[in-house]
Structure formats: C-alpha cells, structure tokens
Amino acid sequence: MSTHARQALISRPLDFWLLGGLSLLTLSLLMIVRQLDLGLLRHPGLWLTVGLYLRVGLEYPHLLATYKLSYSRGREFIRSHWFVMLLAPVALLATGGFIIATLDFNLLPASARAPATWILTGGVHALFLGFGWHRLRQVWGCMSLYSRYDGVRLTTRQRASIHAFLFSMWIFGYLHMISSTLRFDFFGVTVKGIAVPSILLTTAASLFAASGAFFLFENVFVALFKRKRLPSLCFFVPIVALLFWWAALSLEPAFFFFLAPSFHSLQYLAVVWAYERGPTSRELPWPSLAMLAATLLGLFALGYSWETVPSALLPKGSAAIAIAYMVVSLHHYLLDGVIWRTSDPRIKNLLE
C-alpha cells in the first residue's frame, strides 16, 4: 500500500472531469447535435428515460451518502444537531403526508385542498431555491479544496469575488427560471411560476455581470500579473460548470432539468470518496472495490424499483413521488449544512 500527501481528491485528471469538465463536454455535444437537427433529441420519452437512469445511478447514491455521513457520527452529534436531524425530517414527513392525504386520497375536507396546493407549490419553489444555494456551497467547497491543493492562498478580495459571483449567479438563475417558465411539470405535478418584475430581473442581471467581472479581475488578471500564478483548471472548472448549468436553462433546457443534477452528484461523490479514504491517498484493495460495485448495483436496483413501482400503484396524477423527492432533497440540503464544516477534523484533513 502506497501513501502520499493529498494533492487531489482522486487524481487531477479525473477530478477535472468529475468536478465539471464532463458536464461541459456533454452540454457542448448536446448543443452540436441540436444545431445539426438530427432528430435524436426529439425522440419521445428520451429525457424521461435518461433522467430516470441518472437519478437512480447518481442522484440517489449522493443523497444516501449524506445520510450515511450524518447519522453514522454517533448519538452526541445527532443530539447536538437535533433540529436538523430529528425535528426537521418529522416536520417534512408530516407536511408531505398532509399533502398526499389531501390531494391524492381526499382523506381531509375539501377546504384543505387549497392550503395543500399552496404548500406544495411553495415547497417546490423552496426546493429550487435550496438546490441553487446547495450547489453554490458545493462549488465554493471544491474551489477551497483545490486552492489548498494548488498551494494558492486565496486573498480576502478573491474570496469576496467568488462569493459575490456565486451568490448573484444563484439569485439571477432562480429569478430567470421562474420568470421564463410560468408553468412547468415537476414529477407529474404542475407548478406555476412567479411573474417577476422586470426591474428586479434587470437588477439581478446587472449585479451578476458586475460580480462576474470582479471575479475575473481578481482570480485571473490579478493572479496572473501581480501574483504571477494562476490556480489550476481544477480550481476553475466547478464554477465555470455551474455557470453553464444555469445558462443551459436557455441554451438546452433538457440539460438543466435532467442532466445537471447528476453532474452535481458527481462533484459531491468525488468529495465523499476523498473524505471516506482519509487524510492520505491510498490504493484500495480489490475486495473493497468489489464491495463498492455490489453496493452500487444494489442501490441501483432499489432506486429503479422506487422510480417504477409506485407509479403503477398510485392514483393518476399523484403528488406522492414529487413529495418524496422534495422531502428528501430539502432534508439533504439541511444535513449538508451541518456535516460539511471545517470545525470537523476529517473535513480539515481534506484541506491538508
């Protein structure tokens, strides 16, 4: 077994593709195919099928990894974060149960349908806001890791520029999404968008452009001409990928809704892989790789069953799948807020 100080999550070439490079290549190929108008992307049910297998193969393992990292830390950790780890899931499940009982099975008075519909719509928008915030935090984490691996100490202005660019990207992306899509389908549930005032959208776009210029100035111009050293491609690729994930909402909407979540999951799983391996890079024995393959196969079978069996049993137009996805995802965002903190010694190890 060989060990050496960590200079990458897995390896630098592989990190580049996992942290965003593969998503950029995929989006580029999709746009080329779209321009050639070969008809491949218009096949009925294509994106529903692609989305199904990517959710089962990547998104669900990344969600399960969060639960493993959270609830395997012992009773003291759970007690100290009781709100997120105990109260929040109970409240989310109770809310989801209320919506399903009202909208799917009519178990509650008709007067409850309007509040249930309002809560469902609000929950989907909370989910969209949450995944934007969740992704920007993950990108910042990846960039922080690689600044350490590159031996580049970020200045206060660099940090401020990255934070401003990520935050403005999140706000503008969310506003653009809900204003450009006034009615959309979320796992079979029709959700209405919000009519965003043009002045608010213009202001968000202006701040986004200004923060982008600030980011480029601090992290490219100043780094190159004053500090004489640019961070590596692995430092830049997560934020460039996130930018194009949001841009795909206009360039290639199918990528935004069906593919980007899985590329986000690849980022997450790369970090989890490094976290689980400990502070040094080690070669894994073949039995460990075989166990990993068997586990992933089992998770795929479980996830595929979850995606296909309920649809055959639930009423047509059921909100149950949407509710389940929403509840797990919102709780996932909350859990990530408590497990990925630099006060945790194992998180510090990733930075060494």
| The model's pTM | 0.85
- Residue 158, H or E segment: helix 156-180
- List pLDDT tens digits, range 106-143: 888 888 989 998 898 888 889 989 989 999 999 999 99
Helices 113-149 + 156-180 axis angle, to 10: 150
26-35, 182-191, 243-252: range with lowest mean pLDDT: 182-191
Structure confidence at residue 107 (pLDDT) = 85
Q: Is 349 helix (H, G, I), strand (E, B) or coil?
A: helix
Q: Hunting for tokens 């401003």 — which residue is that?
A: 164
Percent of the chain with pLDDT over 90: 37
Gap between the Cα atoms of 249 and 262, Å rounded? 15
Structure confidence at residue 2 (pLDDT) = 41
Asked if 326 contacts 63 with a C-beta cutoff of 8 angstroms, the reply is: no
Domain segments of the chain as ranges: 3-350
Asked if 103 contacts 113 with a C-beta cutoff of 8 angstroms, the reply is: yes
Phi, psi of 38 (to 5 degrees): -85, -5
Gap between the Cα atoms of 94 and 79, Å rounded? 21
Q: What angle do CA 79, 85, 89 make, to 5 degrees?
A: 140
Q: Is 189 helix (H, G, I), strand (E, B) or coil?
A: strand
- pLDDT of 307 higher than 50: yes
Gap between the Cα atoms of 282 and 3, Å rounded? 5
- pLDDT of 73 higher than 70: yes
Percent of the chain with pLDDT over 70: 79
Structure confidence at residue 128 (pLDDT) = 87
- List pLDDT tens digits, range 231-288: 899 999 999 999 999 999 888 887 888 889 999 999 999 998 888 776 555 544 444 4
- Would you place residue 52 in the very low, low, confident or very high pLDDT band (cuts 50, 70, 90)? confident
Asked if 139 contacts 239 with a C-beta cutoff of 8 angstroms, the reply is: yes
Over residues 289-308, mean pLDDT: 53
- Would you place residue 81 in the very low, low, confident or very high pLDDT band (cuts 50, 70, 90)? very high
Structure confidence at residue 43 (pLDDT) = 64
Structure confidence at residue 54 (pLDDT) = 79
Q: The tokens of 161 are what? A: 């520029």
**What burial class does residue 313 get, using C-beta atoms within 10 Å of its C-beta: 0-12 exposed, 13-18 middle, 19+ buried?**
exposed
Structure confidence at residue 1 (pLDDT) = 37
Most confident of 20-34, 202-216, 282-296: 202-216
Over residues 205-215, mean pLDDT: 97
Structure confidence at residue 225 (pLDDT) = 83
Gap between the Cα atoms of 178 and 128, Å rounded? 9
- pLDDT of 192 higher than 90: no
Gap between the Cα atoms of 217 and 178, Å rounded? 31
Mean pLDDT over all residues of the chain? 82
